[in-house]
Amino acid sequence: ELFHEMEKINHLLKDKSAELDVLQKELMAFQSVLPNLLDDTVPQGVSEADNIELRSWGEPRQLDFTAKDHVELGEALGLLDFERAAKLSGSRFVVVHSQLAKLQRALSQFMLDIHTQKHGYQEVYVPFLVNAESLEGTGQLPKFAEDIFSIEGEHQLHLIPTAEVVLTNLVRKSNIEIKNLPLRFVASTPCFRKEAGSYGKDTKGMIRQHQFYKVELVSIVENDKCADELERMSNAATMILDELKLPYRKIILCTGDMGFSAEKTYDIEVWLPSENRYREISSCSSCGSFQARRMKARYKDKNNSKEFLGTLNGSGLAVGRTMIAIMENYQTKDGSILIPEVLKPYMPNIDKISVN
């Protein structure tokens, strides 16, 4: 009789275990689409109109001629080709030639040098294809699956929408020693986005493309150091614009304009003369322990207690948009583009890009 009781209990345990597995999967699915909790310092608001400017730098340049946009400038120079790119790949792509291609490469190198030499970021070369677990860890999956380019095959992989995914996941399922914190990484990579939610927005030019280069900053810190690190990171990003002498402003995003994984975000916007307004060139976010919980990334604090890490990410900067800003702010009446002083060592013997 005791034997039969044990058999019944075993069957019951198996049934309950199966039920628990189902419930855990349902709970995980529910939790995976819940956004991060916002920091108390984030201002209340419903849209980008409620974002608050914190500071601005530089006077927007007043041209004594009608400003051309980057498309008109690039096509007149014969160095931006959207038509051929469309034949090769469709809309939202561009072929960049000669001196503009060199300028784009120079910008990546310049940004990497600033961040590694002046701000202590470690340069990392990373894969551009990642598994689903990596995208889940940083919050792109499952919520933003429609914006991800995927490669079908024996092992499904996904093209990175930003190097944040790879750099942050370097600590996934890790226990980092507190003496090794903070970790600061930087990478220059292509980024790939379907731009699924941007139908009709910025369809002309290089502002919003399916493929673009970005220099990405990621910091891994003790979770109570996120606020200070966000200030440090955003200052590292704005230094690039300071050095390039491009006018910009720094804003804090309101509650209604926040990203999924962020607890607090600063956007940096650069001045574009052709639009007579500022446009986003960097977004720097603290995610608190939100991503670390998803990635199971921990450290032992000073009391030897296991804690989830704090993670931050930011553009330092979007390379294509920086090139656009240089083209427009450094344009001359005859359609030439002057080279910023700090970039001349990266583009030897070139003071300007012109038809001649």
- Measured CA to CA, the distance from residue 165 to residue 168 in angstroms comes to 6
Among this protein's residues, is 198 annotated catalytic?
A: no
More confident residue, 356 or 129: 129
Q: Is 105 a catalytic residue?
A: no
Distance CA 167, CA 172 (A): 10
Confidence of residue 227 (pLDDT cuts 50, 70, 90): very high
Position 16 confidence tier, pLDDT thresholds 50, 70, 90: confident
What single string gives the DSSP state of each residue in 139-197? T-TTTTGGG--EE-SSS-EEE-S-THHHHHGGGTT-EE-GGGPPEEEEEEEEEE---TT
What is the rounded average pLDDT for all residues in the chain?
94
> Cβ distance 248 to 315 under 8 Å?
no
Q: Phi and psi for 45 in degrees, rounded to 5?
A: 175, 170
pLDDT band at 6 (very low <50, low <70, confident <90, very high): confident
Q: Give the range among 61-70, 256-265, 276-285 with minimum mean pLDDT.
A: 61-70
pLDDT at position 196: 77
Active-site position among 134, 274, 282, 283: 283
Of the residues 75, 280, 336, 354, which is catalytic?
A: 280
Query: Region 328-336: what's the mean pLDDT?
Result: 97
User: Per the residue annotation, which of 61, 208, 279, 293 is the catalytic one?
Assistant: 208
Q: What is the pLDDT of residues 75-113, one digit of tens each?
A: 999 999 999 999 999 999 999 999 999 999 999 999 999
| pLDDT tens column, 207-226 | 999 999 999 999 999 999 99
Report pTM: 0.93
Q: What percent of the chain shows pLDDT beyond 70?
A: 99
Picking from 5-19, 257-271, 285-299, which range would have the lowest pLDDT averaged per residue?
5-19
Asked about 280 being catalytic, the answer comes back as yes
DSSP states along 215-253? EEEEEEE-TTSHHHHHHHHHHHHHHHHHHHT--EEEEE-
Judge whether residue 5 has pLDDT over 90: no
pLDDT at 46: 96
Q: Give residue 176's pLDDT.
A: 97
First vs last Cα of the chain: how many Å apart?
99
**Which of 184, 193, 249, 298 is labelled catalytic?**
193
The set of residues, in sequence order, having a beta carbon less than 8 Å from that of 28 and lying 6+ positions away, is none
User: Is 193 marked active-site?
Assistant: yes
Catalytic residue among 136, 164, 321, 328: 321
Measure Cα distances from 113 to 9, 122, 241, 267, 326 in Å. 65, 10, 14, 22, 19
User: Which residue is it, tokens 């603290």?
Assistant: 286
